[in-house]
């Protein structure tokens, strides 16, 4: 191929990428540093008012970013070394509290309840991230990351799995058993598709969600793993690691948001209109105004 045609093709590619990026990011919007006063931020989750709760795991606390004032306050100390967070359909905050390998439910008055701590009488590896379905079912990932605050040094459950909590029976089921190290997880706006990042295999998969919560039709979504994940109302999927990489629902990359940090752990949408992308990265949290919106049921 003639060099000039190669150059034209490259220019067209980047033009398309730029147009697509302008479609999802608000005009003239810039990445804003909210605060860098933490040790390692994770697990952002938006409540019904658009406030975003996130964790500072090494400091064992859950914090809240106010969507009205842009201020950050402490929601809970001694937070079970919580990692991933998500609000259920009754506005309880669910937390992957891996200090004792548990999944917590925290009500608006900050009363906590342990939802899951073991499977078949074996301690979980360490719940990491989760997603709540439109009907209240809960999917969560259970990889093994050796923590400095644990006394144990090996797994009780060899497999690193994805589990599902039935919203009616409250029973826990294995729904994915063939991943190396599942981590980030998010569901599609219609509740019919689940995305799971196998960070240990540097891949992200899509699954069809059955009426009973079972998963089928596993398919490669993209050859990239992810720490945390989110999705917008157009079905675009946001993966993290080196910044934030955005894929359309067909698994094609449409944009990359560069973050000046060694690692970007997680991402969600917040704000009263769910159009603020909230990003946790190392010791910092950032916001970016978007044209697309997050999904709350």
Q: Is residue 295 part of a domain?
A: no
Query: Could you give the number of structural domains in the chain?
Result: 1
- For the record, the structure tokens of 179 come out as 């991943």
Do 48 and 271 meet the contact criterion of CB atoms below 8 Å apart?
no
Any idea what the CATH number is for the domain that residue 120 is in?
2.120.10.30
- For the record, the structure tokens of 144 come out as 């093994």
Q: Is residue 7 part of a domain?
A: yes
Q: Is residue 178 part of a domain?
A: yes
**What is the 8-class DSSP label of residue 125?**
S
Exposed, middle or buried: residue 169 (CB in 10 Å: 0-12, 13-18, 19+)?
Answer: exposed
What is the tens place of the pLDDT at every residue in 163-218? 999 999 999 999 999 999 999 999 998 999 999 999 999 999 999 999 999 999 99
Q: Is residue 106 part of a domain?
A: yes
Helix (H) or strand (E) holding 288: strand 284-289
Residue that has been written with the tokens 């990428």 in this structure: 17
More confident residue, 235 or 4: 235
Q: Is residue 185 part of a domain?
A: yes
φ, ψ at 295 (rounded to 5°): -120, 120
pLDDT level of residue 9 (50, 70, 90 thresholds): very low
Q: Is residue 297 part of a domain?
A: no
DSSP result, 42-93: EEEEE-TTS-EEEEEGGGTEEEEE-TTT--EEEEEES-TTEEEEEE-TTSPE
Parallel, antiparallel, or unpaired for β 193-198 and 138-142? unpaired
Structural domain containing residue 202 = 3-289
Q: Is residue 209 part of a domain?
A: yes
Q: What is the pLDDT of residue 296?
A: 74
**Mean per-residue pLDDT for 30-37?**
98
pLDDT level of residue 74 (50, 70, 90 thresholds): very high
Q: Is residue 296 part of a domain?
A: no
What is the tens place of the pLDDT at every residue in 99-137? 999 999 999 999 999 999 999 999 999 999 999 999 999
**Mean per-residue pLDDT for 149-164?**
97
């Amino acid at each position: 191929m003639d060099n000039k045609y190669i150059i034209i093709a490259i220019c067209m590619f980047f033009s398309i990428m730029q147009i697509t990026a302008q479609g999802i990011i608000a005009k003239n919007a810039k990445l804003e540093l909210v605060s860098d006063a933490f040790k390692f931020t994770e697990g952002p989750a938006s409540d019904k008012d658009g406030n975003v709760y996130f964790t500072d795991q090494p400091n064992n606390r859950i914090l809240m970013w106010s969507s009205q004032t842009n201020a950050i306050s402490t929601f809970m100390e001694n937070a079970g070394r919580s990692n991933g967070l998500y609000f259920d359909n009754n506005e309880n905050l669910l937390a992957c509290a891996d200090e004792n390998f548990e999944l917590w439910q925290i009500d608006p008055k900050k009363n906590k309840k342990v939802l899951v701590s073991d499977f078949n009488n074996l301690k979980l590896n360490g719940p990491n991230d989760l997603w709540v379905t439109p009907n209240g079912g809960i999917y969560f990932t259970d990889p093994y990351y050796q923590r400095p605050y644990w006394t144990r040094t090996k797994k009780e459950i060899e497999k690193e799995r994805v589990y599902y909590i039935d919203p009616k029976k409250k029973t826990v089921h294995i729904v994915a058993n063939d991943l190396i190290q599942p981590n980030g997880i998010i569901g599609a706006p219609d509740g019919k598709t689940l995305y799971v990042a196998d960070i240990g295999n540097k891949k992200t998969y899509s699954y069809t969600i059955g009426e009973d919560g079972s998963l089928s039709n596993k398919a490669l979504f993209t050859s990239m793993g992810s720490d945390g994940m989110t999705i917008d109302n157009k079905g675009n999927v946001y993966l993290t690691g080196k910044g934030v990489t955005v894929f359309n629902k067909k698994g094609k990359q449409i944009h990359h948001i560069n973050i000046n940090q060694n690692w970007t752990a997680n991402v969600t949408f917040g704000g009263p209109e769910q159009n603020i992308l909230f990003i946790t990265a190392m010791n910092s949290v950032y916001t970016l105004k978007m044209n697309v919106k997050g999904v709350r049921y």
